[in-house]
Amino acid sequence: MSGPPGAGRSTLVASYVEAKKGRAAWYHLDPGDDIGTFFYYLAQSLPAGGKSAPQLPQFTPEHRANLAGYARQFFRQYFMRSTLLVLDNYHELPEGSAVHEVLDCAVAEIPEGSNIAVISRGGPPRRLARHKVGEKLATIEGDELRTSLEETRAIAALRHDLDEVSISRSARMPRACTHSRERSSWLRLTPSPCLSFRCSRI
């Protein structure tokens, strides 16, 4: 999911996570994280306990020589239980980050019932284009995050009576709707069935 700052990307994904009520892990990417740190925190995001818990392989320096092989093994175990993994601030990663290669492998290993949602200010890297052709990757861009005036009226009608000026001002993006909610306590944004489907295919 891509869009400019304030477009409502994180708000929309957060509402989708809440609506799904399943297991989810939200990772805020940092340009200073190396690949070992990335795998470490991903492993920590899973609840521990029980013989049925996924046995994630520990990342060691030797795995850098075959990062793709390790990533495939890791994500097969990581997604053994239905999980939504959110990777936020993807645009913060430098072009040479190993996370791009790892994400390429992760997308190929996502089973039915699990998903990865990537939040960024830009589109996906070129290396992920093959997954779009194979229908394992879908994108939601800035213009698609905008709500129409009619949609905003319908959302507002579920919660509270607002004057037309407030509704018109909110009829821009989900983020704008959230700001109106903070001022007048009228709205808790939830994803439409269409957006829920599209988020599930990211």
CA distance 69 to 102: 10
The strand pairing partners of 118, in sequence order, are 87
178 found inside a domain: no
Helix axes 67-78, 99-109, angle to 10 degrees: 50
154 found inside a domain: no
Contact 11, 189 (CB under 8 A): yes
Of the two residues 189 and 43, the one the predictor is more confident about is 43
Average pLDDT on 50-79 reads 88
What CATH number should be reported for the domain holding residue 59?
3.40.50
Backbone phi and psi for residue 44, each to the nearest 5 degrees, phi listed first: -70, -20
- Structure confidence by residue, pLDDT tens digits, 83-131: 899 999 999 999 889 999 999 999 999 998 899 999 888 888 887 878 8
Which range is least confidently modeled, 114-118, 139-143, 178-182?
Answer: 178-182
44 found inside a domain: yes
56 found inside a domain: yes
83 found inside a domain: yes
Number of domains in the chain: 1
157 found inside a domain: no
- Give the predicted TM-score (pTM) of the model: 0.70
169 found inside a domain: no
49 found inside a domain: yes
Range of the domain at 138: 9-145+192-200
